[in-house]
Amino acid sequence: MKIAQITPYAYPHIGGVEIHVKNLSKALKFRHEVITISSNSGEVVLKSIPVPYSPIPLQKVNVEADVYHAHIPSPFFARMYADEGPFVVTYHNDVEVPNRVSGYTMPRFFASMSENVNWKITRDILDKADAVIATTLDYALTSPVLKEYAEKLHVIPNGIWVNDFAYSKEKEDFILYAGRLVEYKGLGTLLNALEGSGVKLVVAGDGEDREYFKSLAGKKNVDATFLGRIGYSELVGLMGRAKALVLPSKTRLEAFGIVLLEAMASGTPVIAYSTPGVRYVASHGGFVFRNELELREIIENLDDMTVVKAGKRGRKFAEMHDWSIIARKVEKLYMSLI
């Protein structure tokens, strides 16, 4: 089978969708031919207007494939191939324009206009799709867009390469945050919860708000180490040694949390804000919180027995999400459409 994966950005551009497409393609390539279409890399690169988070392709390149699989929320690449078929769409998350984008404050009227335009284009795309994939039922049922497409909805979760992560019961006394350092990811919530606690925090990642968060950590008297962007092997090591990983994002831009699976595969408990989708994943290997007080209480009660028990549950859940398993589910959906 020849499969076209259509994504606004492809790896090495970093983001959840890019990592998803990279690994799904890798797993599918064991049995099929896969072509990636994007704005920056892959077998087919479309010249595009570099709109942040949502590049706009200027010209379509005709690609012969048995299945066309597009990834949104950024809709313009998906729209370019929506008339091809069979046409599958993975709906990774709803669009919520953050208060700040690339360091600039976004006026609310402009953010609302952008969201409405995106929803209109997205609905046109989903109308044409033969199948729509959501990563959890929990997220789909709460999405103002996905709930309109129940008749063509298929739930197929994100995946990881489980064997990349060694399960370990032996943990060091630090909490881990791994992700971009941008406001909507919620690191400020974690720093507020840890104010004056004496808990050691390791922050892996970089972003436009790094200096702000470093300053906030100092003001809150949080013992935080900022590592910047690190390599995959170093991240894997941190995952295995951390006492817990925290995903504090409160917005619907976070719909699953691949980083949660990675920590769970390492036997490391996870703590996440009670966001649809994310809360479903986190509940299988850790805890969810609804405010800073609950987050602090969870962290303060992480004794050795709690860590081991949550770690065991998480590893079992992660093992069901190896890409070899997830790709077969996607492949089965493709075959049903041909």
- The reported pLDDT for the residue numbered 119 is 80
What pLDDT digit, counting tens, does each position of 208-253 carry? 999 999 999 999 999 999 999 999 999 999 999 999 999 999 999 9
Say how many C-beta atoms besides its own lie within 10 A of residue 26's C-beta. 14
**Contact by Cβ (8 Å): 36, 27:** no
User: Of 332, 327, 338, which is closest to residue 87 (Cα–Cα)?
Assistant: 338
The Cα 289–Cα 293 span in angstroms is 9
**Would you place residue 273 in the very low, low, confident or very high pLDDT band (cuts 50, 70, 90)?**
very high
Helix (H) or strand (E) holding 325: helix 323-337
Q: Say yes or no to pLDDT of 205 above 80.
A: yes
| pLDDT tens, position by position, 83-96 | 998 999 999 999 87
Confidence of residue 99 (pLDDT cuts 50, 70, 90): low
What are the chain's domains? 2-159+322-337 (3.40.50.2000), 162-319 (3.40.50.2000)
Check pLDDT > 90 for residue 113. no
Residue 311 and residue 284: Cα distance in Å, rounded?
10
Residue 25, pLDDT above cutoff 90:
yes
- Dihedral Cα 2, 160, 88, 11, nearest 10 deg: -70
Q: In this model, does residue 107 exceed pLDDT 70? A: no
Pair of tokens at residue 182: 């941008």
pLDDT at 206: 94
Determine the Cα–Cα distance for residues 318 and 41; give it in Å rounded to an integer: 29
In whole numbers, what is the pLDDT of the chain averaged over residues?
Answer: 94
pLDDT given for residue 96 in this prediction: 73
Residue 244 gets which letter from DSSP? E
pLDDT above 90 (res 106)? no
- Residue of higher predicted confidence among 97 and 6: 6
Question: What are the tens digits of pLDDT across the range 132-172?
Answer: 999 999 999 999 999 899 999 999 999 999 999 999 999 99
Rg over alpha carbons for the chain, rounded to the nearest Å, is 20
Query: Above 90 in pLDDT, residue 11?
Result: yes
User: Strands 153-155 and 244-247: what pairing?
Assistant: unpaired
Average pLDDT value for residue range 103-126: 73
What confidence score (pLDDT) does residue 217 get? 97
Give one word for 53, left, alpha or beta, with left for phi > 0 and alpha for psi -120 to 50.
left
CA distance linking residue 284 with residue 318, whole number of Å: 9
Contacts of 254 (CB under 8 A, 6+ apart): 93, 185, 247, 275, 277, 278
CB-facing half-sphere around the CA of 206: CA atoms within 13 A: 6
Question: Which amino acid is it at 84?
Answer: E
- What's CA 75's distance to the chain center, in Å? 17
Higher pLDDT, 120 or 64: 64
pLDDT > 80? residue 31: yes
Other C-beta atoms closer than 10 Å to the C-beta of 127 total 11
Residue 102 has pLDDT above 60, yes or no: no
Mean pLDDT of 263-280: 98
Q: What tens digit of pLDDT does each residue of 167-189 get?
A: 999 999 999 999 999 988 999 99
pLDDT band with cut points at 50, 70 and 90 for residue 118: confident
The pLDDT value recorded for residue 250 is: 92
